[in-house]
Structure 1
Amino acid sequence: MGSGSAIRGSRVGAGPMGEAERGEAAPRIRVAFYCANKHEVVPSFSHEAQVPDEWDCPRCGFPAGKDPDNPPAPPKTEPYKTHLAYVKERRSDADGQAILEEALAKLRAERAAIAAAIKPRND
């Protein structure tokens, strides 16, 4: 014998009511979108909603348009650039050499001052 309940195996709100309990669904339209990889996406929109011109493809992430023969071009991705690559875009090799020489001269002057300050005295 079970030590159970009369409503065993059911949950609150799990009745045969369905649509009558929740109300009627809003009228929907389904629009097909096509990406550059020939994927077809068919989301549904409210009948009153404004349908966008582009939609993101859930399979590849490319933008998808309504025209299957002329889908939007995939976005161009630039390769990762290092900090040095950005610096080289802004400065020429001659500029870089001048900055390096200036920094080395400053460093040598500081080291010479420190060496002079700790030089042992012969009393």
Structure 2
Amino acid sequence: MEFKVSDCGRVWPPIIADGVIQGFAGKGSRNRVELFRVTADGLYGQGIYYLWSDLGGISITDGYAKIHSDKYLSGGIQFVLEGVVMKTFAGDEVRQVHGYPVSYCLLNRISFEQQRLIERV
């Protein structure tokens, strides 16, 4: 995927900013929970810490998104794609970025950060 950054810093396709990702761990779950935090360094959650360089890719299957990594035995993070929201560190809830669901913009952010790592080498 090719990302373009405008003069004002806007990225296309859209990516999420840093914040707290909330969603459903499994289908049928009724309570949205904090899945992890997105920061400039990577993804942080309870008991997990992934730098962008720790991530091996992303996939979508049967309504679930999986962020792949060999860092832990779990093989990464999996969550329900639908219903993902982001809370900014200022406390605002974000459901869409430039008309696209936060879940896809999160996956774009992961791809964007991985490409930036490759460009630095």
TM-score (norm 2): 0.21
Greater relative CO, 1 or 2 (CA 8 Å, sep 6+) = 2
TM-score (norm 1): 0.21
More helix by share: 1
Q: Which has the larger radius of gyration?
A: 1
More strand by share: 2
